[in-house]
Amino acid sequence: MTTVAPVNEPPVRARKGLFNRPEKPYIHPYLGGALLGLVMFLAFLITRNGLGASGGLNRYVAALEDLIVPGHVNQTPYLLKLAGGNLNPLDDWSVPVVTGALLGGFVAGFLNGRLKVQINKGPNISNRTRLIMAFVGGVIFAYGARMARGCTSGQALSGGATLSAGSWALMMCIFAGAYALAYFLRKFWN
């Protein structure tokens, strides 16, 4: 199958896959979409919730904050809803979903020989630049995700499938934001 983008350079820090499993190609994107849709449908059918990532991450962070500075949580309205008083921030559907996703990604990576310590990046930037950008991008994305009450999973995918008006508007904005900046960052990725 030909799903991999034309590669301009070899992976910089590629090592052999753990347990020396042969690396297999990715599945066809339409098949991936259908399978992901099936998972999401089953989630809605059985549990009434869809998928999510930033919500679960948020709860892990809140739990950590509660652990380090317990008093602080009770003075911050945003955290109060997650971890105020006797609330356990980890007692929520989004937490096992995120945890399961980490495990699922790991198992899929193992089965397909893709468990490799490496840095994916454009050919014209250093590892250091790539990692700085990854960190900054993570901060920006997650800030926007909490403002929008969900990220690509909780809003774009889950809200998209349930035809939420706000989720569709927001999804267009994600693409708009990324495309608007893509030209200026072309050196970083190409």
For other proteins, the binding residues in 29-58 under the rule CB under 8 A are 29-30, 32-58
Q: Select the residue interacting with other proteins from 118, 124, 126, 187 (CB under 8 A).
A: 118
Rounded Cα–Cα distance for residues 99 and 93 (Å)? 10
Closest CA to 174 of 150, 122, 187, 164: 150
Closest CA to 58 of 74, 39, 81: 81
Q: Select the residue interacting with other proteins from 23, 69, 102, 187 (CB under 8 A).
A: 102
Residue window 119-138: x/- pattern of binding to other proteins, with contact defined by CB under 8 A: xxxx-------xx-xxxxxx
Q: Which amino acid is at 131?
A: L
- Our CA angle for 116, 120, 123, nearest 5°, is 135
Residue 14 lies near other proteins (rule: CB under 8 A): no
Six-digit token string for 122: 């454009």
Q: How far is the CB of 71 from other proteins (least distance, A)?
A: 14
Q: How far is the CB of 85 from other proteins (least distance, A)?
A: 13
Residue 143 lies near other proteins (rule: CB under 8 A): yes
Kind plus residue range of the DSSP H or E element containing 165: helix 165-182
Residue 142 lies near other proteins (rule: CB under 8 A): yes
Q: Select the residue interacting with other proteins from 16, 23, 124, 182 (CB under 8 A).
A: 182
Q: Select the residue interacting with other proteins from 19, 71, 86, 163 (CB under 8 A).
A: 163
Rounded Cα–Cα distance for residues 134 and 113 (Å)? 24
